[in-house]
Amino acid sequence: MDEYKIVIKMFNNQKSKINDTIACLYISSKYHPPKNLIKHLGKKILNIKLLQIIQNTTPNFPMFTQAELTTYNGKNGNPAYIAINGVVYDVTNEATWAAATHFGLSAGKDLTNAFASCHAGQPILNKLKIVGKMADE
Amino acid sequence: MNKKTGNCPNFSMRQKTASVLVNKVIDKINKENLKKSNLIWLELTGCSGNIISLLDGADPNFKDLISQMVNFIYNNSLMAAEGEAAIRRLFSVADDDYILAVEGAVTTKDNGIYNIIGNWRGKPVTAYEAIKQLGEKASYVIAVGTCASDGGISAAKPNPAECVGIQSILNKKVIKLPGCPCNPDWFMGTLAYIMLCGEPELDDKARPLMFYSTLIHDICPRRPYFEKGIFASKLGEKTCMFKLGCRGPVTRVDCPITKWNHRVNWPIGDDSPCIGCAQFGFPDKMKPFISYNTTREESK
C-alpha cells in the first residue's frame, strides 16, 4: 500500500491521535513527499495548523548525526534540540524545557523512547519547531 | 504586580477558598449540623516540614482547626503524651470513624524496619505497619506533602530505605496534596471540603482541582517576561527565570496566589526559580534546580 494511503487510513481511524504520526511519517520519509498526500489530506484534515506545517515543509531539512545532535544541548549559548522518531525539534524556548532539561531528560539527545513512554497519543509535537531530520547511521 | 493581582477576582477568590470552607464547617458544627471529625496526623519517613507548615497557617489557622473543626487525636510532634501512651492514643480510634493525614514516605526495605514510630505492648511499630493498619480503615486518607504523595525527597536516588508514596501500599484511594511543604490552605481546604461534601473533585493524579488545576507558569506574575523573551541570567533579577531552570511551566498548583508565611511571599517573588516541589517526580526529575550555562540568546 502506498505511504499516503496508510496515513489516510490511520487518520480516518483515529483523527485525534494521529497528528503527530502524520507529521513524523511525512517529515522522516526518505522519499520525495508524494503530491497526493497533501491533496488527500487537504480534503480530510481538520487540523489547520498541521496542514500548514505539512504544506510549508520542504524535504530538504538539515540532516543530523547523533554526534552532531549532542552539540545542541542548550548549554553555553547553544540551542536545545531533541530528536523524536527521526525528526529534530527545537525546544530552546519551549516552556517545559527550562534550562534545556525536562523531567530528568536533557536536550541534545534522541528521546524517541522517552517520548513514547510518557506522551504517547498526545498531540504535543505540533507546537514545536522542526529543524531537521536524523541521518541514518 | 501585587496590586494588579490583588484586583483580580480569580486571585482574590482563590485566596479565600480554604477560609470559606473552614468557616462553613465551623458554622455547621456550632449549629450542631455537623460533628467534629477525628483526625490522625501520622508522620512516616519525612522531616516534619508539613506539620510545621500547617502551624504557620493563617486564615484559616491551626487554632481554628484544632479547637473548632476536629478532634486532633494524634501527632507525634505536637501531642503531650509520649511513649506507649501516645501509641495507645494512636490506635484508640482504630474502630471509630476517622480521617487520616499522612506526611512522609513509607520505607519498605526489610519490612519497614528502618522507620520505627513507637512501641506498642513492648514491640516496635514500624511506619509501614502503622500506615497499612490505619490507612485501610480510615474514611479518607490524605497524603500531605510530596513525600507522602509520591516518595519525594525520602525516595530520591539512591533511595537506600526503598521509600515509596503511601498510595503504593494502600488499596484505597489516597487524596494527594504534593508540595514541599504542603501549604496550610491546601490541607485545611481539602479537609473542610471532605467534612462538608466528601471527596473533592480530583485530577488524574488524585490532586484536588480546587488547588492543583493551574500551572504556576500560567498564573506567574513574571509570565509577560517569558512571552517577550526577557530572561534572568542570574538570581536576583526580576524577570523570567526560565533560562535558570524554573519549573513553574511543569508544576501545577496555586503557589503564586496562596503564597507562604501569612501570604507574604513565594519563591519566584523572592527571585528564586520554582524547583517543582509540588510536581510528581520531585526532586530527581526536577533537577537541576539552577543552571547558569544555558542558552542566552533568543532563538525565536
* pLDDT over 60 (residue A39): no
With contacts defined as CB-CB under 8 Å, which chain A residues touch B291?
Answer: 99-101
- For B210-241, write each residue's pLDDT tens digit: 999 999 999 999 999 999 999 999 999 999 99
* Cis amide linkage into residue B181, ω under 30° from 0: yes
Residue whose C-alpha is closest to residue B143's, from B77, B208, B218: B208
* pLDDT over 90 (residue A29): no
* pLDDT over 50 (residue B270): yes
Enumerate residues 173 to 232 of chain B having a beta carbon within 8 A of any beta carbon in chain A: 217, 226, 229
Q: Which three cell numbers stand for residue B7?
A: 484586583
* pLDDT over 50 (residue B299): no
> ipTM score here?
0.86
d(CA A3, CA A25): 9
| Predicted local distance difference test score (pLDDT) of residue A31 | 41
The full set of domains in chain B, from first to last, is 2-211 (3.40.50.700), 216-286 (4.10.480.10)
| Predicted local distance difference test score (pLDDT) of residue A14 | 58
Minimal CA separation from B182 to chain A, in Å: 21
* pLDDT over 60 (residue A123): yes
Q: Does A95 touch chain B (CB under 8 A)?
A: yes
Read off the pLDDT of each residue in B255-282 and give the average, rounded to a whole number. 95
| Predicted local distance difference test score (pLDDT) of residue B220 | 96
| Predicted local distance difference test score (pLDDT) of residue B229 | 94
| Predicted local distance difference test score (pLDDT) of residue A30 | 43
Per the CB < 8 A criterion, the answer to whether A23 and A89 are in contact is no
| Predicted local distance difference test score (pLDDT) of residue A7 | 60
d(CA A129, CA A88): 9
Cross-chain Cβ contact B281/A92 below 8 Å: no
Angle subtended at Cα B235 by Cα B186 and Cα B157, rounded to the nearest 5 degrees: 60
* pLDDT over 70 (residue B166): yes
Read off the pLDDT of each residue in B62-81 and give the average, rounded to a whole number. 95
- For B146-159, write each residue's pLDDT tens digit: 999 999 999 999 99
Cross-chain Cβ contact B242/A76 below 8 Å: no
* pLDDT over 80 (residue B2): no
- For B188-213, write each residue's pLDDT tens digit: 999 999 999 999 999 999 999 999 99
**Residue of B44 and A23 predicted with greater confidence:** B44
Minimal CA separation from A39 to chain B, in Å: 31
The number of C-alpha atoms within 13 Å of A107 and in the hemisphere containing its C-beta is: 26
Q: Does B267 touch chain A (CB under 8 A)?
A: no
With contacts defined as CB-CB under 8 Å, which chain A residues touch B297?
Answer: 77
Least confident segment among A78-87, A116-125, B180-189, B250-259:
A116-125
d(CA A76, CA B294): 5
* pLDDT over 50 (residue B300): no
Q: Does A118 touch chain B (CB under 8 A)?
A: no
Per the CB < 8 A criterion, the answer to whether B125 and B26 are in contact is no
Beta bridge partners of B125: B118
DSSP string, B162-173: -EE-GGGT-SS-
**Count of beta carbons in the 10 Å neighbourhood of residue A137:** 6
Read off the pLDDT of each residue in A47-76 and give the average, rounded to a whole number. 76
Percent of chain B scoring above 90 in pLDDT: 90
Average pLDDT score over chain A: 76
Could you tell me how many residues make up chain B? 300
* pLDDT over 90 (residue B114): yes
Average pLDDT score over chain B: 94
Minimal CA separation from A119 to chain B, in Å: 14
